[in-house]
Amino acid sequence: MLKNQPKQQDEPNHPHKLLPPQPAATWRSILARARKGPGGRGDAQGRSRDAPGRQAPPSPGSGPSPGSGPSPGSGPSPGAASAAVGSGGAAARPPGRGRARAWGQGWARGSSCGSAGTAGGSYLDNKMEPAKLDLWILGWFSMALCCWCASDTFTQSGIHPHTWKKLYFAHHWPVTVCKMNANDCHDPPKYWTIHGLWPDKAEDCNRTWHFNVTEIKDLMSDMRHYWPDVLHSSLNRTQFWKHEWEKHGTCAAILEVLNSQKKYFGKALELYQHIDLNGCLLKAGIKPSSSYYKMTAIKEALTRFYGVIPKIQCLPPEEGEEAQTIGQIEICFTKQLQLVNCTALEGESNPMQAHLKLGTSELSVCNDTLPTYYPSEVQDHK
């Protein structure tokens, strides 16, 4: 019997034989034999013979010698039955070629849904499964990372854009803006112009949503008149609008009426006409003058006209001055674009600190006790 045992060293060399066997082949081979019953044929392509503990196929010319088969009337020996199951009928093929063909067929058909691919599974099939699992895990990790980045894009300084509650519609007085940085100002408008439309509690909500001036080309005439870049008189400059959109417009865009650049700037222009701050002040007898006003009188006049409390900012007195200079007036709206008080309710913080700062000068909430200057022209710093 020892003479008929196949020699391991004579087995045809195959590059895949150098790979280590996979544990998955063991239970798959056992499952295949269990389904086919005792003494059943193994994998039709001979792929199950790579399971650990199985005998290798006979080497060329090492088949059983004449007369070594079972004697008449005797059943197959356990060793012969094992060889039959393990080889899957490969002994009938030409020596040395059957195994190579079985490997090639197994590789070609390993991904199919046939019985051969399901029952035994080639070594390469089993080898690919961990790789597929790794790719699956990597895919989910990448998706989670993208979601985190997307959420981070809409979350700046720990504040989520959906938490803002009101819009600050800011007008600034160009003469005061030029006073803060006279070197860059030339003949500023003598009417209140738009500074911006700002959600509270949110800034820079989507840094990938860049400003595109072509989207507001239909608004350019009104934009240049009512929303000019006071510090830069060139008509071709759009940096000011770009700043307002990317810092504030991308946060306001959670509202359907403001969810595009054209809607955002167009709605601001519409609100400007509706508020008519210039007309309101003139009706109250408040106009640029060399005389001083009481801040409480200005605030009361605006509150009576709009029915809500505005936010007014001034340039503090410089050395040698006694009066503050009015510079910015903000009217507030709800998300439904209804007028609302700009002042915070009791126990509620007011996070919008959109003060205008140019050089060393900075606007801040006006002092009710100081006289207020409403300048008609730019004056040099003292």
Active-site residue 256, yes or no? no
pLDDT at 327 over 80: yes
Is 324 exposed, middle or buried (CB count within 10 Å of its CB: 0-12, 13-18, 19+)?
buried
Q: Which is higher by pLDDT, 1 or 167?
A: 167
What pLDDT, in 10s, does the model give residues 245-274? Answer: 999 999 999 999 999 999 999 999 999 999
Active-site residue 225, yes or no? no
pLDDT score, position 103: 39
Highest mean pLDDT among 104-113, 250-259, 340-349: 250-259
pLDDT at 67 over 50: no
pLDDT at 88 over 80: no
Burial readout 176-205 (b: 16 or more C-beta within 10 A, e: otherwise):
bbbbbebeebeebeeebbbbbbbbbbbbeb
164-374: which CATH topology?
Answer: Ribonuclease Rh; Chain A (3.90.730)
Q: Which is higher by pLDDT, 216 or 63?
A: 216
Q: Give the active site residue among 172, 203, 246, 248.
A: 248
Taking the C-alpha atoms of residue 363 and residue 85, their distance in angstroms, rounded to an integer, is 91
Res. 30 pLDDT band, cuts 50 70 90: low
pLDDT score, position 123: 44
DSSP H/E element including 265:
helix 261-275
> Around Cβ 94, how many Cβ atoms within 10 Å?
8
Taking the C-alpha atoms of residue 170 and residue 197, their distance in angstroms, rounded to an integer, is 6
Determine the 3-state secondary structure of 238 from DSSP.
coil
Active-site residue 244, yes or no? yes
Q: Give the active site residue among 203, 244, 246, 330.
A: 244
pLDDT at 340 over 80: yes
Which one, of 295, 303, 312, lies nearest residue 355 by Cα?
A: 312
Res. 237 pLDDT band, cuts 50 70 90: confident
Indicate whether this model's pTM tops 0.85. no
pLDDT score, position 104: 40
Q: Give the active site residue among 195, 203, 246, 330.
A: 195
What pLDDT, in 10s, does the model give residues 156-170? Answer: 444 444 579 999 999
Sequence ranges of the domains in the chain: 15-58+77-153, 164-374
The pLDDT of 36-44, averaged and rounded, is 49
pLDDT at 343 over 50: yes
Q: Which is higher by pLDDT, 318 or 108?
A: 318
Q: Which is higher by pLDDT, 254 or 102?
A: 254
pLDDT score, position 31: 54
pLDDT at 12 over 60: no
pLDDT score, position 20: 53
Q: Which is higher by pLDDT, 358 or 371?
A: 371
